[in-house]
Homo-oligomer: A and B are copies of this chain.
Amino acid sequence: MIKSITINELAKIANVSKSTVSKALNDKPDIGAETKKRILDIVQQYDFSPHPFGKGLKNKFTENVGVVFCRDMHPISANPFYSRVLEGVEAEIAFNNRNLMLQFVTEEQTKGIPKMLRERQVDGLILIGSMTREYIQLIQSKDIPIVLVDPKFEIDSCSQVVMDNEHGAFTATQYLINMGHKEIGFISGDMARLSFKQRFTGFLKAMKYHNLPVNEDYISVGGMEKGYEHVLGLLKRKNKPTAIFSSNDINAQYGYKAVHDLGLKVPDDLSIVGFDDIELSHMVSPQLTTIRAYKEELGSIAVRNLLKLVENRDQRPITSVIPVRLIERESVRKIN
């Protein structure tokens, strides 16, 4: 639709053949220095940019990276966590001078092979979030390089980028313990997800490490938006925890709401530590102490690893673990 100068026209202007222009453009050796300069000047002058379809048809690379973004079913979908990951992905793709093709799917309803893959419009694929194992295997069967970001499952022989969930959870729990808390609850989203499982493990390890008993009554897990009921349930017991570790910030925010609605206060009546450090965490009062995940980093590392796979098909799968870090704010009270 959009017209623009072609290599043929440019060749005519420069009074050379199009092969010569191509050589100039692609830094091929088989060309004289002055000719090259003259051609590149004209390229500049006419703002010529080779059409990727012509290129791609010949050399089989599209220079496009596909991103399949799994948003949750629930309206809480617009999960700010993954939005930040996407920003990291985009930045790294742009930095590497490629284009990003995006498709959303939901965990349940996945519509077969993504269109962009079926049409071979991408050189590789980044899969962000909780898609099903079957879906991932379906894509793997197409023999295209892929990298998983924060996947729901451990998938064998597949490159992935994950957070150091266990260590983060350990740190968060230990922080509560160091602040004098002994009765510590745990609330979480869907424990089928790898990240939440690992965070639970980190929690347990910290408790064990400090010789504290884990009270099963203080553990409440379920959907992302269940934090409200979780905390409400915990606070209505006769034995209450003095603190809870919430395996993500959204849950923690719902926890705030429950505490609030009971006429209580954070951290006076209940200390809370979250995980993820989404923007929300410093927009609330009191600001949430949480484990910061470097979300853009997750995305950019994923792209870097994917491009390695694209450029070298013999490259073995790469797993990258992104470190996390405790951000101390106002939602934890010191006891004693």
Contacts and interface: CB of A to CB of B under 8 A. Distances in A.
Nearest to A262: B285
* Chain copies in the assembled complex: 2
A25 interface: no
A134 interface: no
A78 B83 contact: yes
A102 to B, nearest CB: 5
Nearest to A50: B119
A323 interface: no
Interface size band for A: 35 or more
A267 interface: no
B104 A116 contact: no
A93 to B, nearest CB: 9
Contact of A283 (B2, B71, B104, B257): B257
A279 interface: yes
Interface of A: 1-2, 4, 49, 51-54, 56-57, 60-62, 64, 67, 71, 75-78, 80, 83-84, 87, 90-91, 94, 97, 99-104, 115-121, 123, 142-144, 250, 253-254, 256-257, 260-261, 278-280, 283-285, 310, 313
7 contacts: A1-B60, A51-B120, A54-B57, A83-B83, A94-B103, A99-B103, A257-B283
